Amino acid sequence: MRARTTDWALALGVGLAFATGLWSLTAGRPDQWWIVALHGAGGLLVALLLVPKLRRVWPRVWPREPRAWLGLLSSVLALLVVATGVAWTAGGSLVLLGYHLLNWHILFGYALTAVVSLHMLARARPLRRADLAGRRQALSMALLLAGAAALWPLKGAAVAWLGLPGARRRFTGSRAWAHFTGNGFPVVSWVADRPRPADPALWRLRVDGLVAHPLALDLAALGRPDELDATLDCTGGFYTTQRWAGCRVGALLDRAGADPSATWVRFVSVTGYRWSLPLQQARDALVATHVGGEPLAHGHGAPARLVAPGERGFVWVKWLTRIELRDQPDPGQLLAINTSWLSPAGRGEGTWLPDEGGPPGPEDRSRL
């Protein structure tokens, strides 16, 4: 293949792997497996192309061409990304500096995308028609794409055949953890939310926004009429299937009298962490107060959390205090989930309900 064709194919592979990698973090339903498969194929395309690329540039890089160092750094990062990705999906459980392979994979992936972008700004040459024309070019390109697409399922088959632990991973790459154990699964925050425990007697769940009768429910009024088995799959790399109990969001919306103009439902935590779902999907979600027959532990979001089947863990808002009906989505939520840990409640200060009770004693503070 021509030099420019190789380079642009590499850029395509990195771009594809980056986009599908980000996208895969939101994929929670098994029918979205193909997003992860595309991610794998993009990454393996990069791995395949590194061979001709390094053969070509190695003689220039190694002696002394500082301008080529970004390129060298890209190659090193690409090797690290592919190695950590393949090792994680094969079942690797290496932990380095407190971070496991998937964390490193994501970190290296961001770094690779940034460095390749800089490298292209500095050195990319435009693709000419001649770089793509001709049977040889077309053939090698087709072989490459087919090879990358075939390698991903082959890797899966090899992992299964060798009986590696990765064979038991979910399609997202997450590893199974303590199914049906009540509160016995890991406590996780998206960044570092750690509010102090709520006083269940003071806690209220507000249902408001585009509704006929805004509600403020205590635990008894919320009740626990509904039960549901659902899988919490954290982008940090574990998943757990549990039996959740509480009240269907749809029932709450009916009690509040949803306005016909409502199209989105926003779920808000005491910390300011929030996420929204389209109305129909929100109706099928659960406000859970119990897991496996036990009341939710504080770390898992007591008194109540959202259980959103088919959505990744970060959507399952913990320490829920408000459900708001809206007529539009909420672009600010992306910022909110990354900054909620800086809010007073997110840092473990203040009361859950500022107008009830005094300031908390230091002994009331919790650590997640």
Ligand X SMILES: Nc1nc2c(c(=O)[nH]1)N[C@H]1C(S)=C(S)[C@@H](COP(=O)(O)O)O[C@H]1N2
Q: Does 300 bind ligand X (CB under 6 A)?
A: yes
Please state the closest distance from residue 190 (CB atom) to ligand X, in A: 4
- Answer whether 272's CB lies under 8 Å from 281's CB: no
Angle at 168 between CA 171 and CA 95, to 5 degrees: 90
Q: Does 269 bind ligand X (CB under 6 A)?
A: yes
* The total number of residues written for the chain in this structure: 368
Q: Is the peptide bond between 303 and the residue preceding it cis, with omega within 30 degrees of 0?
A: yes
Nearer to Mo ion, 152 or 316 (CB): 316
**Which residues lie closer than 8 Å to 192 by C-beta, 6 or more apart?**
341, 346
Axis crossing angle, helix 69-89 with helix 101-123, rounded to the nearest 10: 150
Instruction: Work out which of 313, 321, 333, 351 binds Mo ion, going by CB under 5 A.
Output: 313
Q: Does 271 bind ligand X (CB under 6 A)?
A: yes
Q: Does 234 bind Mo ion (CB under 5 A)?
A: yes
Q: Any alpha helices (H) in the chain, and if so which ranges?
A: 3-24, 33-64, 69-89, 101-123, 129-132, 135-161, 219-222, 249-256, 279-283, 333-339
Q: Does 231 bind ligand X (CB under 6 A)?
A: no
Residues 149-208 that bind Mo ion (CB under 5 A): 188
Nearer to ligand X, 5 or 189 (CB): 189
Nearer to Mo ion, 169 or 248 (CB): 169
217 binds, among ligand X, Mo ion, none (CB under 5 to 8 A by kind): none
**Sole window of 13-21, 249-257, 280-288, 293-301 interacting with ligand X (rule: CB under 6 A):** 293-301
186 binds, among ligand X, Mo ion, none (CB under 5 to 8 A by kind): ligand X
Nearer to ligand X, 18 or 185 (CB): 185
Please state the closest distance from residue 299 (CB atom) to ligand X, in A: 6
Phi-psi region of 44 (alpha: psi -120 to 50; beta: other; left: phi over 0): alpha
CA–CA dist 263, 266 (Å, integer): 10
Nearer to ligand X, 248 or 312 (CB): 312
CA distances, 103 to each of 13, 234, 339 (Å): 21, 12, 20
In the shown chain, the binding pattern of residues 166 to 205 toward ligand X, with x for contact by CB under 6 A and - for none, equals -------------------xxxxxx--x------------
Nearer to ligand X, 93 or 338 (CB): 338
CA distances, 215 to each of 62, 226, 334 (Å): 68, 19, 27
First to last CA, the chain: 54
Residue numbers at the binding site for ligand X (CB under 6 A): 185-190, 193, 232, 234, 269, 271, 273, 299-301, 313-314, 316-319, 340
